[in-house]
Structure 1
Amino acid sequence: IRFGRVRRAFIGVSADTTNLPRRAALLSQVSSSTAVRLRSVEKNSPAARAGLKEGDIIAAIDGRPVTGVDDLVRMLDAERIGRETLCTVVRRTGVSQVAVTPVARPN
């Protein structure tokens, strides 16, 4: 708590935990049956600038499975602020890697 408060990384999304279809898990090379579906992406946020969209499913961050919203929050710690983070994203069109650079969570 060097800054007088707990710092968290922010990418500008709201999300829900969702089931990850088996085919999507295989394509994304994730061993989890759940992931995070984006409900919304804030305009001009790091996620929006990276090209993430409502409905995208984040299956992994830097190769580590994201099994739910709690995982996403835990993974977006202060160490990721300003550091490019690779998200494995499942869309109807397939699986892709999207680089997002989180910022410090606004007050």
Structure 2
Amino acid sequence: MLEAETLTARLEQLVRWGNPLRSTHTVTATGIAEYQRSRSRYQLSKLGERVQRVQSWREADPKVLGAFATTVTRLWRETAAEDSAPWKVARAGHAAELKALLLVTP
């Protein structure tokens, strides 16, 4: 179970990314607990709705999935070759790992 602070931080990050929106529903709170519950209401943004409609990689056509994984891996390798910043090199490695995972997962 997540701590309240961890959950709040994760929700705030999602809000910054534009996934959920804070609910604009106004509540007249009669106590602290009610106030805290009322400010923890979110609704899915338009972006969040689009993200939810994206097909799961588990349901994707294996050929399409392979092409996607190959392309992402190549792009990150090219990016790391142009600029060898440690995070870019690491990202290229992660892309290669993802490609290997996607190509062997049934």
Give the structure-1-normalised TM-score: 0.23
Which structure's residues are more often strand, by fraction? 1
Higher relative helix content: 2
Higher relative contact order (Cα pairs below 8 Å, separated by 6+ residues): 1
Q: TM-score, normalised by structure 2?
A: 0.23
Q: Which has the larger radius of gyration?
A: 2
